[in-house]
Structure 1
Amino acid sequence: MSAPITAVLLCAASAAGYAAAAVLQERLAQRPIGVLVRMPLWWLAIALNGVGAGLHVVALRYGPLSLVQPFGVLTLVLAVPVAAALAGHAVARIERRGIVLTVAGLVGILLVAGTTNGIAVLSTAQLLSLLMAAAVVLTTLGAWGAVPGSSVLWPATAAGVSFGVSSALTQTVAVRVTGEGLGALLDSTVAVAALAIAALSTAGTLFAQRSYRGGLGAPLAVSTLANPVAAATIGMLLLGEQITGGGAGALIAVAGAGAAAVGVSLLTRAQIDLRIPAPVAPQLSEPCPS
């Protein structure tokens, strides 16, 4: 089996693991974390997330990032229909349109995401700056999401950012360990990055869990979008990556972002429609017997 085909199969399996985890987390989303940690089903969701992440990392050994990363959108494509089937209803037309636009927009962004001739790693100064910036952004998003009545898309965005920063750190750790062996983990920069990966992955999972209280489609779309956008932003700001295609590539990225935003809006409307009970037709009273 060729390397690209192996990468594609691993990506599909990774997306299936993430999708199954998201469906389970959404079904348990109304329970507080103190209850969730005592539920085997929630730990199964965590395990599925771990399997998805592991398969994604392995896929990068068989295919380039430009091939592997776009397959992340399969998580959204798989999760929403499965969640609808388990809830006993079909995927609404507006949901299908939202999924198509979100996936198309995200693929457009990923196709012009910056690349470099080699795989760059973060320096110590860049790592510390990134962690401080991530802490500020995630704290702000978390605070906005904690306000009563606020949108569930705030914690969904925080989840995507957490996973995106974690991906950038994972690249640095993987490159250092591959080139220097396990002894690289004794380096302070690599050790801090490894600890930060664990912390960010945990934070991302908890943010995602909170976001699913409002349904699955829109929060999953937002986190799926925010993840690669955050990673690409880090690549361009810190690792010397650039948008490919020049001005045309920039226009594609803007158009993709617009399409994805419309898709998320449609998915949000779909979730609001599902929460509004259908009107009950008035029943005519039977005539009183004479």
Structure 2
Amino acid sequence: MTNLIITVALCVAVAIVYATAALIQARHAHLTVPELIRLPLLWLALGLNGLGAALHVTSLGFGPLSLIQPLGVLTLVIAVPFAAVTARRRMTRLELSGMTNTVVGLAGLTLIVTTAGTGGTLASGELVTLLAAAVVLVTVLALRGRRPGASTLWEAVAGGAAYAVCSALCKTVVVTVGDTGMAALLRPIMIVAVVSVAVLAIVATVLTQRSYRNGLAAPLAVTNLVNPATATTIGVALLGEHVATTPVEIGLAAACALLSGFGVAQLARARDAAVQLDAPPPRKEIRTSA
């Protein structure tokens, strides 16, 4: 019972920390990267993201992943109302509906689609292949998001994928060091992994930062969808895990995925509506008589 309380408390703390970091990033999403580097609040957001990751790793020592994964959606539950409060407005019905559908769908997915198996580490060839694929995927998505008029959700997808790859590399480094000692960090492949973790963490932060420039809710929901989905794919394809589902659970998972997608679409519509409401009215031409 004590471990359960500790697990829930840590997960709530993680959600609050991540939500606060997301709000800071969203508030300054209009700034360029050079401007962000000179902004102390950005470094606070980076520190909060690091703290959230550390708390998440700690929570895994007290509770099962099947409990911790669903509690991860608390970040969205906390961040969306926080954003409304900081903007001094009430949440709209569309925002409430979108958040509810997304959270229920995400929770259902993480409860239904669990992974099991050996949970090994990445071999050297797998690590290099994963890095190459991640660089190509993230670059393509990021460039797509930078096109004029493109949806910011492209960058949210890229950020979520980068975070997932970062997690897989972190797991490989932590498990390898735990099995063979700190001397493992001197291996060339481990040096590549550690450097890649740092680079991917920065890239993911910048991409999610940019994805918030037109609103927080929809990009945050997309990141919360893409991150665990990509991590599960990596686990099944490269880490010796398997998806522990029955045909019935697969059907329920598909329904939950559709519900989450519908919720994200609602949040995106709510964001677009808010942008239109905040836009200044068109200027009327004043005719003067001759």
- Tell me if TM exceeds 0.5: yes
Distance 2:142 2:245 in 1: 35
**CA distance in 1 between partners of 2:241 and 2:248 (Å):** 16
User: 1:177 aligned to 2:173?
Assistant: no
Structure 2: which amino acid aligns with 1:199? V
Name the count of aligned residue pairs.
281
C-alpha deviation, 1:241, in angstroms: 2.2
More displaced stretch, 142-151 vs 192-201: 192-201
SS of residue matched to 1:242: strand
Compared with structure 1, are the counterparts of its residues 279 and 15 closer, same or farther at alpha carbon in structure 2 (3 Å cutoff)? closer
Corresponding residue of 2:41: 41
Which residue is 2:283 aligned to?
none
Q: CA RMSD in A?
A: 1.8
Residue 275 to residue 263, structure 1, CA distance change in 2 (3 Å): same
- Tell me the SS of whatever aligns to 2:240: coil
- The change in CA–CA distance for 1:190 and 1:66 in structure 2 (over 3 A counts) is farther
CA distance in 2 between partners of 1:142 and 1:8 (Å): 35
The structure 1 segments of at least 4 consecutive aligned residues displaced by more than 4 Å after TM superposition are: none
Map 1:120-135 to 2 at 5 A.
Answer: 120-135=120-135
Q: CA deviation at 1:172?
A: 1.3
TM-score of the superposition, structure 2-length normalised? 0.92
1:279 and 1:272, CA in 2 relative to 1: closer, same or farther beyond 3 A?
A: closer
Does residue 230 of structure 2 align to residue 230 of structure 1? yes
Q: Distance in 2 between matches of 1:187 and 1:65?
A: 30
Q: Map residues 201-280 of structure 1 onto 2, 5 A cutoff.
A: 201-277=201-277
Whichever residue aligns with residue 71 of structure 2, its letter is F
SS at match of 1:108: helix
Identity of aligned residues (%): 45
Q: In 2 relative to 1, CA 87–248 (structure 1 residues): closer, same or farther, beyond 3 Å? A: same
What amino acid sits opposite 1:182 in the alignment?
M
Query: Which residue of structure 1 aligns with residue 141 of structure 2?
Result: 141
Compared CA separation, residues 93 and 184, structure 1 to 2 (3 A): same
Does the Cα contact within 8 Å between 1:243 and 1:250 map onto a contact in 2? Answer: no
- The alpha carbon displacement at 1:252 in A equals 2.1
Aligned to 1:85: 85
1:6 paired to 2:6? yes
Q: Which residue of 1 aligns with 2:197?
A: 197
Q: Compared with structure 1, are the counterparts of its residues 217 and 169 closer, same or farther at alpha carbon in structure 2 (3 Å cutoff)?
A: same
Q: Quick one: distance in 2 between partners of 1:67 and 1:17?
A: 19
How far did 1:145 drift?
0.4
Deviation sequence 1:84-110 (CA, Å, 0-9, x none): 111011111111111111111112221
Distance (whole Å) between structure 1 residues aligned to residue 279 and residue 30 of structure 2: 25
Contact 2:214 2:275 in 1 (8 A): no
User: Do the aligned partners of residues 249 and 85 (structure 1) sit closer, same or farther apart at CA in structure 2, a change above 3 Å counting?
Assistant: same
Q: Partner amino acid for 2:66? A: S
Contact 2:119 2:240 in 1 (8 A): no
Pick closer, same or farther for the CA change 1:278–1:135 going to 2, 3 Å: closer
Report how far residue 146 of structure 1 moved.
0.8
Alpha-carbon distance between aligned partners in 1 of 2:276 and 2:259, rounded to the nearest angstrom: 26
Deviation at 1:39, TM superposition (A): 1.6
Of the structure 1 ranges 115-124 and 138-147, higher mean CA displacement relative to structure 2 is found in 115-124
TM-score by length of 1: 0.92
Using the TM superposition, give the Cα deviation of residue 278 of structure 1 relative to its aligned residue in structure 2, in angstroms. Answer: 7.5
Structure 2 Cα separation of the partners of residues 279 and 102 of structure 1: 27
Moved more, 215-224 or 34-43: 34-43
Report the Cα distance in structure 2 between the residues aligned to 1:7 and 1:115, rounded to whole angstroms. 19
One-letter identity of the residue aligned with 1:12: V
| SS at 2:220 equivalent | helix
SS of aligned partner of 1:119:
coil
Provide structure 1 residue ranges, at least 5 long, that are not aligned to the other structure: 281-290
The alpha-carbon deviation at position 189 of structure 1 amounts to 2.8
Moved more, 42-51 or 217-226: 42-51
SS of 1:213's equivalent in the other structure is: coil
8 Å CA contact retained: 2:118, 2:241 = no
* 5+ long unaligned stretches in structure 2: 281-290
Match of 1:94 in 2: 94
Hey, what's the Cα distance between the residues in 2 that align with 1:143 and 1:40?
Answer: 27
1:23 aligns with 2:23: yes
196 and 113 in structure 1: CA distance in 2 versus 1, 3 angstrom threshold:
farther
